[in-house]
A and B are shown apart, each in its own frame.
Chain A
Amino acid sequence: MIPDRNQSLMRFWPLPLLVMLGAMLGVWHDNNLQHGRPDTLSALITTVASTPATLLSSTSQWVDHKTSWIFHGYQISRENRRLKSEIAALKQQNIQLQVEASRGVRLSQAQKLYQSSSPPPVAARVISLRSDPDFDTIIINRGTNSSIHKHSVVITPNGLVGEVYEVSANTAGVVLITDPNGMVSARDLRAGAHAVGMCKGDFSSLIPMVNISAESDIAPGDEVVTSGYGVYPPGILIGKVLAVHLDRAQMEKVATIQAAVHFSSLSEVYVIQ
């Protein structure tokens, strides 16, 4: 007896159902993202995962901290701890200076404004770092409960990391400046307003800076900072110019920027509220 083909195919009814459900979830997620609302399902999954992820990350650091003397000796370990706490304090100070600088103060004068009343940046731990090679994104363990919102700017003491694009109560998704979806308006710190352009991520710590005027005085070794157009406040270090060349049409310059931040080893970041 020949089995009924239609009846045989009917056995697979869950597939179209799941595909439709998946597509609907995607549309719902994207719609929430566009309107700056948290997607409940995604937020729930990241929040549930963030707790053990943070715990494991902290435990691994704690074990490393506690056992380092076995390999390096007690004195070195004590000295290391002292230096680490000193570095942490300096990092915090550096972050605060960057925040002040980014709010329109010249970098050289930033230290004088250290005592200002601007809210301090929020320290956050990276709980998921580039888990998919297709997206240069990270998830941090701070969210709206820590006054973080969509478009909050994420930095490290070394420079700019990226922008918050998705936020829930206790987690936030950050798109790195190396992702093609993240664009940063930038300027050459030395040449100032005469050398401005757009840094467009290319999945690499070498970030192309395009749309620079052919007459601009941008040169290798110059520091590039955020210009202040768009979501990023001005004055945050992006990186250093490695090379400059004219584009194919010989109309504009293109610079290659070596990012100041080591994205592969991000463990702690600061969020400017």
Chain B
Amino acid sequence: MTPSIRRGIILTVAVPVMTLAQMLLASSLTIFTATPDFLLLLALLAAMLMDANSSALFGFISGTVYASISAPPEAGYGAIIVSWTITCFLVGWLESRIYQDNYILAPPTILIGTIVAGSLFFLFSPQIKPPHWIHALVLTAVYNSVLSVPVFLIFRKLMGKPASHTDLGIGGFS
């Protein structure tokens, strides 16, 4: 099995697994009103290991799945997809310049990535209660950031360390 096929399979399996985790576990894993966002965590971590275009595609797919299961009661479906696509693109774009595949950079990247995704979402779809939104966003960002190290290590172990930071053989846009 070639590394690119292996990575493709891992990502294909990871999305439904994280979706189910989000649906079934997220609310029960709430700590002091902080709720994890497994799908965004997956999308951002995957973006750390992919190029910009592949990351944007993965963000788009993850965002679409998340928007469907989070079921925003008013406008917000498209805002989730667009904000995730842009954020994952940015993380993927920075990858070759900054990350160097370093797991120590995972927590700050996930923290900032979650905040950027949330801020873009708010920009595209302003929420009724901004204080609640900010509170929830910061707590989710911290929660995701804490989860990022073990998940990143597992993820990298499964996917294998990339031979080149510019081409992981995923997506194939660039």
Contacts and interface: CB of A to CB of B under 8 A. Distances in A.
| A joins B in a complex | yes
A14 B65 contact: no
Nearest to A27: B78
A71 interface: no
A49 B19 contact: yes
Contact of B136 (A49, A52, A134): A134
Interface of A: 11-15, 18-19, 21-27, 29-30, 39, 41-42, 45-46, 49, 52-53, 56-57, 127-135, 137-139, 165-166, 173, 175, 179-182, 202-203, 264
A181 to B, nearest CB: 4
Given A27-B78, A49-B65, A130-B35, 15 more contacts: A11-B174, A12-B89, A14-B56, A15-B52, A22-B63, A22-B64, A22-B81, A23-B82, A42-B71, A46-B71, A57-B24, A129-B27, A135-B72, A138-B71, A166-B71
A133 B69 contact: no
Interface residues of B, number: 52
Contacts of A138: 71
Question: Which of B16, B73, B89 neighbours the largest number of chain A CB atoms within 10 Å of its CB?
Answer: B73
Interface string B49-67: 0001100110110011111
A104 B74 CA distance: 31
Contacts of B99: none
Contacts of A23: 78, 81-82
B70 interface: yes
B64 A41 contact: yes
A45 B68 contact: yes
Contacts of A41: 64, 68
A102 to B, nearest CB: 22
B75 A19 contact: no
A26 B79 contact: yes
Nearest to B129: A180
B73 A179 contact: yes
B78 A18 contact: no
A29 B33 CA distance: 29
Interface of B: 16, 19-20, 22-24, 26-27, 30, 33, 35, 37, 52-53, 56-57, 59-60, 63-79, 81-82, 85-86, 89, 93, 121, 127-129, 132-133, 136, 139-140, 173-174
A135 B73 contact: yes
B23 A137 contact: no
Which 4 A-B pairs give the minimum distances between C-beta atoms? Answer: A26-B78, A22-B81, A132-B70, A133-B136
A7 to B, nearest CB: 13
A17 B93 CA distance: 16
B5 to A, nearest CB: 21
A133 B30 CA distance: 10
B24 A26 contact: no
Contacts of A131: 22-23, 26-27, 69-71
A14 B27 contact: no
Contacts of A127: 23-24
A138 to B, nearest CB: 8
B166 to A, nearest CB: 11
Contacts of B66: 132
A46 B73 contact: no
A42 B77 contact: yes
Contacts of B136: 133-134
Contacts of A128: 22-24, 69, 71
A135 B68 contact: no
A29 B78 contact: yes
A15 B77 contact: no
B162 to A, nearest CB: 19
A52 B73 contact: no
Question: Which of B16, B57, B76, B78 neighbours the largest number of chain A CB atoms within 10 Å of its CB?
Answer: B78
B80 to A, nearest CB: 8
A203 B140 contact: no
A42 B68 CA distance: 5
Contacts of B71: 42, 46, 128, 131, 135, 137-139, 166, 173
